[in-house]
């Protein structure tokens, strides 16, 4: 009897699972461009109805989104059995479950030379302002796929701006705590998408603000970094004071809110819907500071972005914050951005009564004003707490009677936000906090606006302070007020958190493409006690490139997405801070804005070539992405499976002087012979094209020390005339067979 009951339960669970509906994205063959969008939607209902044997009226309960612009397809709630039926229907290219994505969470523009002040960017040899040449991005329309916007921010004022360009077809969608008056001549459009997200949270909207209003700050921060207006006298607690500005202060902004909740989760179905509308609305650029889980060739956002590119929209995306584990947004049509450091530190110091002083990071402007007793969190634990929890300064773990008036040494970690630790010290009556790194997992020191005088120090310094506390009969310490320091001549370095390549799906392309400032970036924030905030992540690097792309679009309105992509890559500079790093860390190098406006040559590409190559991949259900990508006219070169020899072809377009002669030089990867034919390119007019071949031959067995992860070795190829340098990084995998993930 027991076995029978168990069998019934198992069968019931299996049936329930089979009948449970989930969100799928159905990708159809290319549509007839002449069809009205309403007709396309009708077609989607008809296809679903015929495939499922249901009436058009019944399919209304299934379809969540109908995609009509970025790609031809729809998102629908289906059971596994229904999804299987649709996958076999004529005209269906592919059907995938909707994936979940996450957001990848002043001084920087001077540091990159956009302002033209050479004293503030010693590694970029130019005294010209791209802001002036690019007209501050005037009337370029930037679409932001993110967590929404805080429209009241000073960064989005519209003073001095005219009406939106006539090509703008979008809208300002009203919702909770957001109405049409929140849009203006700067923020010209706002939409929100939540139906896909509801599928992941049991369809409850109870805790959601259903509008384009930003609730986490991420979208507001990235938007103001890309296109924020000039706002004077911005600081964080009086530190890092300066004028806040985006890369393209006169560009227009349209926001598409697709990410929700404190975890900033984003449904693939919602993202595709946002991209679909953005293309129809008329955006020039899409900025996407988000990423998914494991790489897949059939990533729905990459497919939607591909069709946006085909419409002439430039798509910029973040590489991810997972350091060496995986890299996001690696499709060749993305401009994929890694994060680098800048030359500004907000520092704090703590002195012990023994005479030793330690330096760290802080965004707390005030100090303790006098020497105070210092204790470790474990020494002042509450009665119901453990020493381990008290050392982490968890909420409610410090005894107020023991803590009052003392500086508390707390260890980072335990899943507790850093500022929450200082809040616990304040709640217990402490006078200050020293936060030190966990010795078992050392990370970068962070700059935080703590609620008590505080400084963040390394694990070794923290252990030295702990040793002093334990060994001294009357330990005392003094925390100095925080200060802002600019380190003259410090070159950018790749951030530790920035995701690295190679891409397992697209090893024939070097990703990231480029790095840009993404560490300790100050930009606008949501309402409350702080109107500006300092945040790190490739999410912050991505809009830096978006801003520069807007300037390039204004300066070169006739350039294609591929030409802009090429200009950014081939003019990037090799920072002295990239020691012991490879192109899989930094791409072609660090963003060089002014040079990108004057690249000399570009590797151009008709967007339809992307679509045609990868449309075929979708139809057959499998694609050799190695050959598909290597045949693209890409500005970098990656050969992932070199066993004897391999030849790639490239074509460059002259966008520089009418008459020019370029000569090639090659820094060959160790053990590889690289031959470029021809080695000289002579141009007699602008827009003239010239083709060449690059042949790779294995000369000798490569020594193990020369090999990177996955067997890659590196070099570069550079074309030069009298004023332009056009550099392409090279990556070659020596005798390693890659398998494309299914």
| Contact between 160 and 139 (Cβ < 8 Å) | no
* Catalytic member of 27, 44, 218, 456: 218
Q: Both ends of the chain: CA-CA distance in Å?
A: 44
Q: Tell me whether strands 285-288 and 476-479 are parallel, antiparallel or unpaired.
A: unpaired
What H or E segment, with its residue span, contains residue 733? Answer: strand 725-734
218 is catalytic: yes
If one counts every other C-beta atom within 10 angstroms of the C-beta of residue 306, the result is 23
Is 146 among the residues known to form the active site? Answer: yes
Half-sphere exposure of 482 (CA within 13 A, CB side): 30
Residue 409 belongs to what H/E stretch? strand 407-411
Return the SS3 of 480. coil
Q: Which of 108, 155, 267, 539 is catalytic?
A: 539
Determine the 3-state secondary structure of 51 from DSSP. Answer: helix
Alpha helices per DSSP H over 23-102: 37-52, 56-59, 80-87
d(CA 167, CA 153): 26
Instruction: State whether the Cα torsion 390-453-242-590 is positive or negative.
Output: negative
Gap between the Cα atoms of 703 and 701, Å rounded: 6
Is the bond leading into 586 cis (omega within 30 degrees of zero)?
A: no
* Catalytic residue, candidates 139, 146, 343, 513: 146
Q: At what angle do helices 538-555 and 561-570 cross, to 10 degrees?
A: 120
User: Do 71 and 303 contact (CB within 8 A), yes or no?
Assistant: yes
User: At how many degrees (to 10) do helices 607-620 and 300-310 cross?
Assistant: 140
Could you tell me whether strands 314-318 and 285-288 are parallel, antiparallel, or unpaired per DSSP bridges? parallel
d(CA 405, CA 452): 11
The residues that are catalytic are 146, 218, 539
């Amino acid at each position: 009897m027991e076995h029978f009951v168990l069998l019934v339960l198992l069968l019931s669970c299996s049936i329930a699972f089979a009948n449970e509906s989930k969100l799928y994205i159905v990708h159809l063959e290319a549509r007839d461009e002449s069809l009205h969008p309403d007709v396309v939607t009708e077609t989607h209902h008809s296809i679903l109805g015929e495939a499922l044997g249901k009436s058009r009226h019944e399919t209304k309960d299934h379809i969540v989104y109908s995609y009509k612009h970025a790609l031809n397809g729809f998102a629908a709630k289906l059971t596994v059995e229904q999804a299987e039926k649709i996958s076999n229907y004529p005209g269906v290219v592919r059907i995938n479950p909707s994936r979940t994505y996450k957001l990848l969470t002043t001084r920087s523009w001077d540091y990159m030379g956009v302002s033209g002040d050479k004293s503030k960017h010693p590694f970029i040899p130019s005294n010209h302002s791209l802001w002036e040449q690019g007209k501050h991005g005037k009337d370029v329309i930037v679409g932001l796929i993110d967590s929404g916007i805080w429209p009241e921010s000073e960064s989005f004022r519209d003073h001095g701006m005219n009406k939106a360009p006539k090509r703008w077809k979008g809208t300002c969608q009203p919702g909770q705590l957001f109405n049409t008056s929140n849009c203006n001549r700067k923020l010209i459009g706002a939409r929100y998408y939540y139906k896909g997200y509801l599928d992941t949270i049991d369809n409850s909207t109870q805790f959601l603000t259903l509008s384009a209003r930003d609730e986490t700050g991420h979208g507001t921060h990235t938007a103001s970094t890309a296109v924020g207006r000039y706002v004077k006298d911005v600081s964080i607690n009086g530190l890092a004071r300066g004028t806040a500005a985006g890369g393209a202060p006169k560009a227009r902004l349209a926001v598409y809110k697709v990410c929700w909740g404190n975890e900033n989760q984003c449904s693939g179905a919602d993202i595709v819907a946002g991209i679909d509308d953005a293309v129809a609305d008329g955006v020039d650029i899409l900025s996407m500071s988000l990423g998914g889980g494991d790489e897949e060739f059939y990533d729905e956002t990459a497919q939607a972005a591909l069709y946006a590119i085909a419409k002439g929209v430039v798509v910029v995306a973040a590489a991810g914050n997972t350091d060496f584990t995986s890299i996001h947004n690696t499709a060749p049509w993305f401009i994929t951005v890694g994060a680098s450091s800048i030359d500004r530190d907000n520092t704090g110091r703590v002195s012990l009564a023994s005479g030793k002083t330690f330096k760290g990071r802080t965004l707390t402007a005030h100090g303790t004003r006098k020497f105070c007793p210092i204790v470790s969190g474990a020494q002042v634990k509450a009665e119901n707490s453990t020493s381990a929890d008290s050392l982490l300064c968890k909420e409610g773990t410090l005894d107020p009677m023991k803590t009052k008036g003392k500086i508390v040494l707390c260890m980072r970690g335990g899943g507790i936000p850093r500022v929450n630790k200082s809040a616990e010290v304040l709640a217990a009556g402490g006078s200050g906090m020293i936060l030190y790194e966990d010795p078992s997992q050392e990370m970068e020191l962070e700059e935080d606006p703590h609620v008590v005088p505080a400084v963040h120090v390394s694990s070794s310094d923290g252990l030295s302070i702990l040793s002093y506390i334990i060994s001294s009969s009357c330990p005392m310490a003094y925390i100095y007020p925080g200060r802002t320091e600019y380190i003259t001549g410090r070159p950018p370095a790749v951030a530790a958190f920035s995701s690295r390549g190679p891409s397992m799906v697209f090893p024939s392309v070097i990703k990231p493409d480029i790095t840009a400032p993404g560490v300790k970036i100050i930009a606008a924030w949501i309402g409350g006690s702080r109107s500006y905030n300092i945040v790190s992540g490739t999410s912050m690097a991505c809009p830096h490139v978006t801003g520069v792309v807007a300037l390039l679009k204004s300066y070169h309105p006739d350039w294609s997405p591929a030409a802009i992509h090429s200009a950014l890559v081939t003019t990037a500079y090799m920072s002295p801070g990239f020691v012991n790093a490879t192109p899989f860390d930094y791409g072609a190098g660090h963003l060089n804005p002014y040079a990108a406006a004057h690249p000399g040559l570009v590797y151009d590409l008709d967007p339809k070539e992307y679509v045609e190559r990868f449309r075929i991949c979708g139809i057959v259900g499998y694609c050799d992405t190695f050959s598909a990508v290597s045949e693209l006219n890409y500005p970098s070169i990656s050969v992932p499976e070199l066993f004897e020899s391999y030849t790639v072809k490239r074509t460059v377009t002259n966008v520089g002087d009418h008459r020019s002669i370029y000569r090639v030089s090659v820094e060959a990867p160790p053990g590889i012979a690289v031959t470029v034919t021809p080695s000289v390119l002579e141009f007699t007019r602008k827009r003239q094209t010239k083709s060449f071949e690059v042949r790779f031959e294995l000369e000798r067995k490569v020594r193990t020390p020369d090999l990177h992860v996955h067997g890659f070795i590196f070099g570069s190829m550079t074309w030069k005339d009298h004023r332009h340098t056009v550099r392409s990084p090279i990556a070659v995998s020596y005798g390693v067979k890659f398998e494309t993930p299914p």
